[in-house]
Amino acid sequence: MTWSRPAPWSVGRAVGGGLPGLTFAPPGSPPTLTGPFVWDAASAREIPAVQRAIQLYGGMVGQMAIDVYRGTTPLPRPRLVVRPDPLNARSWFVRNSIEDYLLNGNAVSVVTSRGVDGWPTTVAWLPITWVYIVWIPGDVLPEYFYYGSPLVYDDVIHIKRSADRNYGGMRGMGIVEEMMGTLDRVAMEEVYESTTLAGAAVPSVAIITPQATLTQDVADTAKTAWQAKYGGPNREPAILPAGTQVIPLAWSPSDTQLTEARHMSLIDIANAFNLSSYWLSAPIAGMTYRTAGPMYQEVLKTSLEPVLADFEDVWSDAWLPRGQTIRFDRNQLLRDDLPSTAAALTALVGAGILSPAEAREYLASNQVSMPMTPLAVAAETAATASPPQPQEVPA
């Protein structure tokens, strides 16, 4: 089977080494009045609300530390979970994997080195734009190609969002592929608004002359004289014949319901990404007096948890020996401010649920800084001071 280097806009699946099953217009093609305006993940990123949604997911998950457990017992973090790719930050690795998972439906990484026990020690993220997932109906396992070169199946780590039922479930389905019509409409609205703002046939003023009849030549000459005198930055007085009316004309997006269309588009994109429209700055009644804590709990339980579950399951099986699991540290999002945390811990200590030592340990593990009293500062200084050296007594 021969395999030629794929074009960057030929993304996704291929059957039996033939032409790609999803072929879109080349990236960077200028939109026309007939579209399409969104044809792949790259063009969908140009929609501000889409960019906001993927940054929310990638940013919130990327800032979570990755812990390792055996059952419910925490284990020391191996270097693989601290820095999966030694050449890039862990947050960068996680964020790009999340973005590919959401937009394209497939997040692929590859093992780049293994330890003496055979388990991975480093992995690298692969841009899904250049990954081909090839499956011949009837085969149990697919094949993976990167830049046209085959990948070792055992080294591929593939996380799928949903499943392409027409492709044997060998590849996931991204939000862009599932919501192509909605995203294309949103982009079309933006192009329409841009062209309307640039070329709307609405003059700045309407001048009604007192003459009952006015020839076109006289009107054109008067317009040219008006623009020459009042078109610049100077505000000169206008002396007009009696009965002349100058009526200012204005146009705004709300006049053509563009503002309302933008609000509805934000809600549509929020629904596509399983987010509350609040996170995309869409106006919502009753959200004024909600605190940050419950809102982060809501987005964690309803939006992030399904995504985290897929990554935790796949990475646990691919990265760690059996019996060990990966779990993202949710406390980074659920951590509250110091006064709220102190009030909760005080109530738990008073009820006997926690001891003062356990409460202090919680504050330390969650990196909540507490101001030190002068006595505490003196005690710490005395504890860390060098012990007095013995004096030599002359004989």
Least confident range of 18-27, 163-172, 279-288, 309-318: 18-27
Q: For residues 79 and 237, what is the distance between their CA atoms, to the nearest angstrom?
A: 75
What is residue 199's predicted lDDT score, i.e. its pLDDT?
A: 60
Identity at 120, one-letter amino acid code: P
If one counts every other C-beta atom within 10 angstroms of the C-beta of residue 255, the result is 10
Residue predicted with more confidence, 14 or 244 = 244
Whether 337 shows a pLDDT value over 90: the answer reads no
Residue 290, pLDDT > 70, answer no
Work out the average pLDDT over 286-298. 67
Under DSSP, the state recorded for 362 is H
How far apart CA 164 and CA 111 sit, in angstroms, is 25
Peptide bond just before 36 cis, omega within 30 deg: yes
Indicate the pTM of the whole model: 0.72
Contacts 24+ apart (CB under 8 A), 123-128: 123/80, 123/84, 123/85, 123/157, 123/319, 124/85, 124/87, 125/85, 125/88, 125/93, 125/96, 125/97, 127/96, 127/100, 128/11, 128/100, 128/104
Q: Measured between alpha carbons, how far is 314 from 312 in angstroms, rounded to an integer? A: 6
Q: What is the pLDDT of residues 353-383, one digit of tens each?
A: 888 888 887 777 665 444 444 444 455 455 5
Rounded distance between C-alpha atoms, residue 303 and residue 305, angstroms: 6
Tokens of 394: 């002359």
Confidence bin at 5 (pLDDT 50/70/90): very low
DSSP string, 289-326: T--HHHHHHHHIIIIIHHHHHHHHHHHHHHHS-TTEEE
User: Which range has the worst mean pLDDT, 122-131, 197-206, 348-357?
Assistant: 197-206
C-alpha to C-alpha distance for 134 and 132, rounded to whole angstroms: 6
DSSP-derived secondary structure letter, 116: T
* pLDDT digits 0-9 by tens, 32-84: 556 678 888 999 999 999 999 999 999 999 999 999 999 989 999 999 999 99
CA distances from 226 to 36, 145, 231, 244, 256 (A): 42, 67, 7, 13, 29
How does residue 234 score in pLDDT terms, banded at 50, 70 and 90? low
List CB contacts of 368: < 8 A, sequence separation 6 or more. Answer: 335, 338, 341
Q: Which residue has the tokens 């009644």?
A: 285
